């Protein structure tokens, strides 16, 4: 099954739906979507959407090194709203996304930070899923709860649904893909590149910083 999922996740579009149906026996279109996870004010003049994969090293670097600067300088003052969306590209990143949702929406961002900060540990383990179990336990997710999340076919359908919608709406070809007010950036920006892209948008909204 893991090999089947891994092959499917490397192929865009309909094969992803087939993966979900193979795992859960449910039709992805019938799944109620996951809640949108975001930080910042809804009234912020700039919206940053992140599509990331937990197995992506550039995603991890962006989240660990650039996001804290964005949060401090742009999110907290109300200039930027950030939306987080999963975009699994292989079996490990899909499993990690399931783990991220294990604690529910309120704990999702804490799990994201944990998974990216420990990426080298679990991703390159002999058995990434078993190592993810160890990592999740540090946040109070016991083995029983972990196994329920990993084998939750409906949760898998919902994560894959986010990926399919991202592909449909933005033609994503790489992770991370960042969307800043509908402008698509298919790579991990530096903080300086982010500022260069955002400042004109804030100026146009009379929200100079």
Question: Is 192 part of a structural domain of the chain?
Answer: yes
pTM of structure: 0.84
Question: Is 61 part of a structural domain of the chain?
Answer: yes
Question: Is 6 part of a structural domain of the chain?
Answer: no
Question: Is 74 part of a structural domain of the chain?
Answer: no
User: How many Cα neighbours within 13 Å face the side chain of 141?
Assistant: 25
CATH number of the domain that residue 145 is part of: 3.40.30.10
Question: Is 132 part of a structural domain of the chain?
Answer: yes
Instruction: Find the domain containing 191 and state its range.
Output: 30-68+94-198
CA 170, chain centre distance (Å): 15
Answer for the pair 197, 179: CB distance below 8 angstroms, yes or no: no
Question: Is 78 part of a structural domain of the chain?
Answer: no
pLDDT digits (tens, 9 = 90+) for 59-84: 999 999 999 999 999 999 999 999 99
Q: What is the pLDDT of residue 104?
A: 94
Question: Is 84 part of a structural domain of the chain?
Answer: no
Question: Is 150 part of a structural domain of the chain?
Answer: yes
3-state secondary structure the chain: CHHHHHHHHCCCCHHHHHHHHHHHCCCHHHCCCCCCEEECCCCCCEEEEEEECCCCHHHHHHHHHHHHHHHHHHHCCCCEEEEEEECCCCHHHHHHHHHHCCCCHHHHHHHHHHHHHCHHHHHCCCCHHHHHHHHHHCCCCCHHHHHHHHCCHHHHHHHHHHHHHHHHHHCCCCCCEEEECCEEECCCCCHHHHHHHHHHHHHHCCCCC
Q: Percent of the chain scored above 70 by pLDDT?
A: 82
Number of separate domains in the chain: 1
Q: What is the pLDDT of residue 203?
A: 78
pLDDT digits (tens, 9 = 90+) for 139-183: 999 999 999 999 999 999 999 999 999 999 999 989 999 999 999
Q: What is the pLDDT of residue 7?
A: 39
């Amino acid at each position: 099954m893991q090999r089947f999922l891994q092959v499917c996740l490397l192929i865009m579009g309909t094969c992803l739906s087939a993966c979900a149906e193979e795992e859960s026996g449910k039709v992805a279109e019938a799944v109620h979507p996951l809640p949108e996870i975001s930080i910042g004010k809804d009234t912020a003049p700039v919206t940053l959407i992140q599509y990331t994969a937990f197995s992506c090293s550039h995603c991890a670097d962006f989240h660990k090194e650039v996001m804290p600067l964005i949060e401090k300088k742009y999110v907290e003052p109300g200039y930027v709203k950030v939306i987080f969306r999963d975009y699994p590209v292989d079996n490990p990143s899909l499993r990690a996304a399931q783990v991220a949702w294990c604690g529910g929406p309120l704990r999702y961002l804490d799990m994201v930070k944990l998974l990216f900060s420990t990426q080298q540990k679990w991703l390159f383990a002999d058995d990434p899923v078993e190592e993810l179990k160890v990592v999740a336990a540090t946040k109070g997710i016991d083995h029983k709860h972990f196994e329920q999340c990993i084998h939750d076919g409906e949760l898998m359908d919902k994560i894959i649904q986010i990926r399919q919608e991202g592909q449909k709406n933005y033609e994503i070809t790489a992770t991370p893909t960042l969307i800043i007010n509908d402008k698509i950036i298919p790579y991990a920006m530096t903080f300086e590149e982010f500022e260069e892209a955002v400042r004109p948008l804030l100026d146009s909204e009379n929200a100079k910083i």
